Amino acid sequence: MKKARLRHIRYIAIFFPAFFFLAGPPEFGRDTEFFRGFAIPRPAIRIGLGVGLTDITIRSSSGMKVYQVDKDYQLLGQDIAEAQVKGHREKLSERFAVQVSHTRTKQEAEAAARDLQAKVEYKVTAAENSEGGPLGAWQVKVGDFLTRGDALHCVSKLNKLGLKDVWIIREEVTEKDSRTFGLILEGGLIDLDGETVLYFIPSNPQSFLSYGGKPYRGILSVRHTLEGIVLINTVNIDEYLQGVVPCELSSYEFGEIEAQKAQAIAARTYALKNLGKHGALGFDLDDSPASQVYKGFGAETPMSTRAVQETKGQVALYKKELIDALYTSTCGGMTEDVENVFPGQASPYLKGVECTTEKEEEWTLKSDKSLLPILWNSRDISEKIAALMALRIIPEQFGAAYFRTPADFAEAQAWTRGLLTALGRKTDAWEQESKPLTHSGLAVFLVGVLGWQERVKNLLLQSEADHVLKDFPKLKGEERNDLAYLIVSGVFPPLERVGEAEPPVSRAELGFILSKVFAMHKPVFQQAILRRVEKNRLEIVQDGETKLLTLAPDAFLFRTLDNYPTFARRIVLEGGESVNFVVDDGQVRLLEVNFGAPTNVLDRPSPFHRWQVRMSRQELESRINQFYPIGRLIDLIPKERGVSKRVTELQIVGSETQEIVNGLKIRWVLGLRETGFVVDKEVDEDGAVTHFTFSGRGWGHGVGLCQVGAFRMAQIGFSYKEILKKYYQGITIDKAY
């Protein structure tokens, strides 16, 4: 039965918060009236907003109550607008230890520590490790060293014992002070001891509290721990997720609801699975990427909130157990087996999968309409001219030679009238003149019809005018200032003298100038993401809203590669492409499609789909020596790769020693985005390496759900359940509450 199948999850999701508020730890007291007027819906989660804090300012939107709780509780103030907590952390020092291994259980860690203690003179301990990965919650540590050098010396000794995969860790130590912390409330200072916990409760359910400029739902509490003052936000888990999902997968950049739902379920599952991860500090998860990025309700967006609400209670299970729902930003084409990245045993649902789908649906657009390259100042401005034609600002003329010839005043007037019409501006009738068009004459004309006289008067320095028109001393008065303003504002190009006269204004240049004027009022092109094509109908997503547009049968088509647009008579689309377009009279009359990498990999929209980093030997050597005493860096040799071709074992060759680094540590030691890379080396004339170049794919640890891949799957029509089941093998989706 479903209830029997999920009873262990319901224990976490329902019973735990009930204990939290009703039976309650001592600091909450035993009287439920304590929370009267402000209840946090179950299940609740505690998020650490900071550890080792010395100065905390908490503000309320419309009043808060402040309680001091130790063996009993005491109301210190109500309808409080601001409270400050001052921590007396006077003695702060750092220590170093050498991490030898991770284990899944405390018993395994203690047994490994006893075995190692018999072999070394240093102190060996087993300790809970909140950052050891999903399958390594306990660590075996050697020593308590005052300096990194002492720790490096220990590493050398451990290497001689055959322990190669060791790791220096830094720990911050706060020595306990008798004056633990104090509270400044309404101008008065209250000294508090280490057993006290402070609770800040909104005065009404609509009120909220803020810290560090970020507003938070729920309540805030402050307590003293061995690591200093800790600030905690206790909140309903779905309200917590509303502040997580948009931070982990932006709904503005990745605005597909099915991807957002997949992210919501992954984040919910991760949170429930890791309740109590930082139990020794009094909270479950922190607000950083080490847990999940959480920025309170100021980060919430309508789409991410909708995703959380429409998947309320849903979690990912494997054999009726919550999964470790790891996710990564960009997998680079394939995810990795978890044991190759994090220490511990293999997990059947966290196996490497290709970030691709079966053949995607394609659509073909065709057009016989194009322009030959229109060059001006050796620059192809065909795209800008086509946009003006699409907006009916200038007439359709397809011969490149036409645009190379000089424009006359009558054309400037006609084209400007079209510009004002497209901008919704008033157009007066002008007397048509047919005479050579000079830059100064055009400047006076445009300033007049656009009403830019105040701009010229107040936004132009006389020294600027003298500087840009120093080669044209005969220009005086109005025409000089108008021309100078349009040059310094970027509408006109700088002028070059042609004999004793101004250069002629070509039709290409006139079109370019008018496109600049248009862009100063509103964008020439609209932007969107193309989802699909149905005959002459384009389905797009613009500002998070799905729209249908009609493509004109004679529309201009452009293909953009490497930021360079070219005319196209035929374009093949798969959906998900970024498009720029021009609409006139209810139809798309110009469509520009931006193509990314020519690949079938789902995470190709990510800027980190492929990357390259070049580092000097000295830079890399300095970084590595913080962890391993290698001396001078000689070489880096990938020894083993995982199913996704990520480097899973790296040999670091130094003048003093050689080290083998495994899994996620490779990324940390080298300071790279990912471990999916190859290494190229530059050498000097003596054959010594001077630089290392890493060419890689992806961003993150590469395990579990690929967030950008999920977005792409949603774009082409997959549901959130299909997305989750692709990246987490063999799972089911069910409700935990």
Q: pLDDT digit string (tens) for 229-282? A: 999 999 999 999 999 999 999 998 898 999 999 999 999 999 999 999 898 899
Closest CA to 382 of 511, 524, 561, 522: 511
> In this structure, are 296 and 397 located in the same domain?
no
> Which of these ranges, 78-87, 167-176, 314-323, 549-558, has the smallest mean pLDDT?
167-176
Q: What would the two tokens of residue 295 be?
A: 């920025």
pLDDT band, very low/low/confident/very high, at 104 (cuts 50, 70, 90): low
Cα distances (angstroms) measured from residue 46 to each of 14, 51, 356, 449: 14, 13, 37, 62
Is 381 part of any domain? no
Number of domains in the chain: 4
pLDDT band, very low/low/confident/very high, at 432 (cuts 50, 70, 90): low
Q: What would the two tokens of residue 515 be?
A: 């496109």
pLDDT at position 713 is 93
Q: What is the pLDDT of residues 210-238, one digit of tens each?
A: 999 999 999 999 998 878 899 999 999 99
Distance between CA atoms of residues 66 and 190, nearest Å: 12
Task: Give the rounded distance of the alpha carbon of 307 from its chain centre.
Answer: 18
Closest CA to 514 of 331, 680, 381: 381
pLDDT at position 8 is 42
Answer whether residue 178 shows pLDDT above 70: no
Mean pLDDT across the chain = 86
> In this structure, are 425 and 475 located in the same domain?
yes
- Determine the average pLDDT of the residues in 681-699: 94
- Among 511, 532, 548, identify where a domain stops: 511
Identify the bridge partners of residue 222 per DSSP, sorted by sequence position.
198, 231
Pairing type for strands 526-534 and 537-542 reads antiparallel
> In this structure, are 208 and 325 located in the same domain?
yes
> In this structure, are 184 and 158 located in the same domain?
no
- Supply angle C-alpha 641, 642, 648, rounded to 5: 55
> In this structure, are 79 and 201 located in the same domain?
yes
> In this structure, are 190 and 217 located in the same domain?
yes
Answer whether residue 496 shows pLDDT above 70: yes
Answer whether residue 89 shows pLDDT above 60: no
Amino acid of residue 403: F
> In this structure, are 392 and 292 located in the same domain?
no
Cα distances (angstroms) measured from residue 95 to each of 135, 144, 151, 336: 25, 6, 9, 34
pLDDT at position 389 is 94
pLDDT at position 430 is 62
More confident residue, 278 or 102: 278
CATH number reported for the structural domain that contains residue 135 in this entry: 3.30.70.1070
Answer whether residue 527 shows pLDDT above 80: yes
Instruction: Pick from 29-38, 105-114, 197-206, 677-686 the range whose average pLDDT is largest.
Output: 677-686
Is 565 part of any domain? no
Is 392 part of any domain? yes
pLDDT at position 1 is 41
Q: Which of helix, strand or coil describes residue 398?
A: coil
pLDDT at position 152 is 79
Answer whether residue 174 shows pLDDT above 60: no
Q: Do the beta carbons of residue 423 and residue 598 sit within 8 Å?
A: no
Distance between CA atoms of residues 573 and 362, nearest Å: 5
Is 536 part of any domain? no
pLDDT band, very low/low/confident/very high, at 3 (cuts 50, 70, 90): very low
* Other CB atoms within 10 Å distance of the CB of residue 137: 20
pTM for the full model? 0.77
Give Rg (Cα) of the chain: 33
Distance between CA atoms of residues 146 and 150, nearest Å: 7
> In this structure, are 505 and 619 located in the same domain?
no
Q: What is the pLDDT of residues 438-489, one digit of tens each?
A: 999 999 999 999 999 999 999 999 999 999 999 888 888 888 999 999 999 9
Is 358 part of any domain? no
- Determine the average pLDDT of the residues in 161-179: 68
Identify the bridge partners of residue 587 per DSSP, sorted by sequence position.
550, 584
- Determine the average pLDDT of the residues in 599-615: 90
Q: What is the pLDDT of residues 25-83, one digit of tens each?
A: 333 333 333 454 578 888 999 999 999 888 899 999 999 999 998 777 788 998 999 99
pLDDT at position 19 is 36
> In this structure, are 281 and 421 located in the same domain?
no
- Among 146, 174, 202, identify where a domain stops: 174
Residue range of the domain that includes 667? 611-696
Closest CA to 514 of 422, 400, 404: 422
Closest CA to 563 of 716, 376, 380, 368: 380
Is 521 part of any domain? no
Q: Do the beta carbons of residue 243 and residue 297 sit within 8 Å?
A: yes
Exposure letters 279-303 (e unless 16+ CB within 10 A, then b) = eebbbbbbbeeebbbbbbbebbbeb
Per cent of the chain over pLDDT 70 is 90
> Which of these ranges, 32-41, 317-326, 694-703, has the smallest mean pLDDT?
32-41
> In this structure, are 333 and 418 located in the same domain?
no
Where on the phi/psi map is residue 223: left (φ > 0), alpha (ψ -120 to 50), or beta? beta
Distance between CA atoms of residues 382 and 371, nearest Å: 7
Instruction: Give 704's contacts (C-beta < 8 A, 6+ positions apart).
Output: 266, 324, 325, 326, 327, 328, 335, 338, 350, 727, 728
pLDDT at position 2 is 40
pLDDT at position 33 is 35
Q: What is the pLDDT of residues 119-149, one digit of tens each?
A: 888 888 888 765 545 545 678 888 888 777 7
Is 482 part of any domain? yes
Tell me the torsion sign for CA atoms 154, 156, 159, 163.
Answer: positive
Q: Which of helix, strand or coil describes residue 558?
A: strand
Answer whether residue 609 shows pLDDT above 50: yes
Q: Do the beta carbons of residue 697 and residue 610 sit within 8 Å?
A: yes
* Other CB atoms within 10 Å distance of the CB of residue 584: 15
Is 571 part of any domain? no
CB-neighbour burial class of residue 423 (10 A; exposed 0-12, middle 13-18, buried 19+):
middle
- Among 284, 314, 340, identify where a domain stops: 340
> In this structure, are 163 and 192 located in the same domain?
no
> In this structure, are 299 and 408 located in the same domain?
no
- Supply angle C-alpha 455, 458, 462, rounded to 5: 110
